[in-house]
Amino acid sequence: METQLLTTQHPRQLLAAVKVAAGLLADGQPVALPTETVYGLAADALRADAVTQIFEAKERPFFDPLIVHLPSRDWLDRMTNIPSESRAMTDALMAKFWPGPLTLVLPRREIVPDLVTAGLNTVAARMSANPVFRAVIEHFGHPLAAPSANRFGRISPTEAAHVRSELDGRIPLILDGGPTQHGLESTIVKVEAGELRLLRAGPVTPEDLGEVYRSVRTAQGHSPTEAEMAGFYERLNPAATKPAMASGEAGKSMEAPGQMVSHYAPRTPLRLVEPGVLVAIYLGPDEVAAQLASLAFKKPSTAAQFVCEEILSPAGDLREAAATLFAKLRRLDEAGVDMIIAEEIPERGLGIAIMDRLRKAAAKHE
């Protein structure tokens, strides 16, 4: 199969690309599209035969559910059965973060194929804010299942070139919308009885979610106490997702995408270290010094002698660090070194999501 890459830089190019993409989607074929998080591999979410091609192109296990991207908010009620006690919280989250990088896990309706949900009674849904993705899905008119456009378990693509390096010859079309905005996959929360549980950290931070939670509870006549807010943030602790990740690793259905212990991983072994810790790696019976690459947060690492280095954000900006994480990790993975040494970053706000990705990248080689 020949993989075509179409640019969308100018309005006329975008219009032509959208028509080609929508035609392929209508034919049941997968298409790689930019979102504001990472590039996604999209197919008609209501057709099991189309969704199957996503799994085949990515070599993705069928126990890992997909996120469904919606053309408009009214599709949420067509795809999900929102309990009355969760309606106010769901509506508030949509009003605040949609379109945007927040995925909601809610009880599904029968219209959603089992293949999309890995047989779960819930479905993960969101609306993308990316203008290219929005143009395609609005022209197509149906929900799109769209996991990251890469081979399963590898580094997520944040540029069209990354998609081509992963899926060239496996899919018919890639739309080039430039680098993605956030650089990390969406935050995923499960809405249960009006409460929230974090299933995957992402660009929407616990603090962002806390603001909505407080406002909804206050509007319902109960302003949360500090102790109640502390309990809310405890439920959003990423550690709460670890049992689900372990069961997914064993081949069982997970509650949401991205919960496996090992994920987002480079081919090159990656080790996480605390800033300032010295590292010495020797290989083979002759103990030859390993060729090392560094992934640092805001200044050059002093952990070892490195043959190459990437700095996520010289300004110490967590949003910049998140947006560049996968692209810089991919460059180091292609540098031909023996190991990547990644420094831990502050685990606050968006740093929680970045550390989640780094831990999963390191887990493959532990």
Burial-class residue 218 by CB neighbours within 10 Å (0-12, 13-18, 19+): exposed
- pLDDT for 244 equals 45
Quick check: 259 pLDDT over 80?
Answer: no
Q: Is 204 helix (H, G, I), strand (E, B) or coil?
A: coil
- pLDDT for 253 equals 55
215 bridge partner residues: none
Look up residue 79 and give its two tokens.
């795809």
309, 301 Cβ separation under 8 angstroms: yes
- pLDDT for 278 equals 82
Quick check: 106 pLDDT over 50?
Answer: yes
| E strand or H helix at 192 | strand 187-192
CA distance 192 to 107: 9
CA distance 89 to 285: 59
Mean pLDDT of 97-103: 98
- pLDDT for 235 equals 79
Q: Is 261 helix (H, G, I), strand (E, B) or coil?
A: coil
Q: Which has the minimum average pLDDT: 88-102, 104-118, 248-262?
A: 248-262
- Percent share of the chain, pLDDT over 70: 92
Mean pLDDT of 136-143: 97
Quick check: 39 pLDDT over 70?
Answer: yes
| Contacting residues for 44 by C-beta, under 8 A, at least 6 apart | 25, 26, 28, 50, 51, 140, 142, 143, 144, 145
Query: What integer best gives the mean pLDDT of the chain?
Result: 91
Quick check: 239 pLDDT over 70?
Answer: no
- pLDDT for 89 equals 96
- Percent share of the chain, pLDDT over 90: 78
Q: Which has the minimum average pLDDT: 44-58, 246-260, 311-325, 328-342?
A: 246-260
Mean pLDDT of 158-186: 97
- pLDDT for 257 equals 79
Q: What predicted TM-score, i.e. pTM, was given to this entire model? A: 0.91
104, 93 Cβ separation under 8 angstroms: yes
- pLDDT for 201 equals 93
- pLDDT for 262 equals 63
Q: Which residues of 281-319 are buried (b: 16+ CB within 10 A; e: fewer)?
A: beeeeeeeebbbbbbbbbeebebbebeebbbbbeeeebe
Quick check: 289 pLDDT over 80?
Answer: no
